[in-house]
Amino acid sequence: GVADSETHVVTRTMPNGNVCTSTLVLEGGRVQKNETRCVSRHAASERATTQAPTADSKDKTTDPDSEQSYLEQDAVQRWQLAGLPELRPTPTDDFWVLGGVFLERFVVAFDYDNARLGIAEPSTEIKPELQVLGLNEERVIEVQPPVEAPGKPASSIAWPVLAAPSLVLGVGVLAAWYRSSRRRPEALASTSDLEAVE
């Protein structure tokens, strides 16, 4: 039998303005080709304006009903409403930076010799002590009892440290009490002598 062949072409405009065209070719229910090509918004508009329209086709950049024309006009209006000039493409428009949450979850291998980038998920869980923490994660620390020194228990070391300040405080309180108790009878005697003289 003759194998059924289907081709699906989908064109989408991404939030950043890039135009991506996905082509899916199926033969007999199996994928033969699955390709996605993305072009920056500026490159797509330049390509559309440099192509000369034929007698049979409408120029998409001048046709007000064209989806491409509408999207380009909308983008220009958004820039103008914000008070910003329309930006021209730069060499770094298609430059991506991997970082943050992405690098915390995936393993990334850079092959500089062949200009390739490999991305994979770890096959096993990473040990918790080696795992990188994300911005939204809190580290849970297990509270363990203090480890006592070998030989003497911690309580035998703590009592002399606490006893010395307690002894100094106690002697100070006793001295203050003794002085105040000796002054009271003298004060009472001096006031009674004054009353007797008058």
Which residues contact residue 111 at a Cβ distance below 8 angstroms, ignoring those fewer than 6 apart?
Answer: 117, 118
CB–CB of 175/182 below 8 Å?
no
CA 20 – CA 126 distance, rounded (Å)? 36
The per-residue pLDDT for range 153-180, each reduced to its tens digit, is 656 667 777 888 888 999 999 998 888 8
Mean pLDDT for the stretch of residues 24-39: 83
Residue whose tokens read 């209006």:
77
51-106 residue pLDDT tens: 444 444 444 444 544 555 555 555 555 555 555 555 555 555 566 666 776 777 77
Q: What pairs with residue 119 in β-bridges? A: 108
Q: Which residues contact 9 (CB under 8 A, 6 or more apart)?
A: 21, 22, 23, 24
Residue 197: strand, helix, or coil: helix
* pLDDT recorded at residue 80: 52
| pTM over cut 0.75 | no
DSSP secondary structure letter of residue 138: -
Domain regions of the chain by residue span: 5-91
DSSP H helices, the chain, are 41-50, 67-81, 101-105, 154-197
**CA–CA distance, 42 with 81 (Å, rounded to integer):** 19
C-alpha dihedral sign at 27, 31, 33, 39: positive
Q: How many CA atoms lie within 13 A of 3 on its CB side?
A: 10
Give the gyration radius of the chain's Cα atoms. Answer: 42
- CB burial class (10 A; 0-12, 13-18, 19+) of residue 21? middle
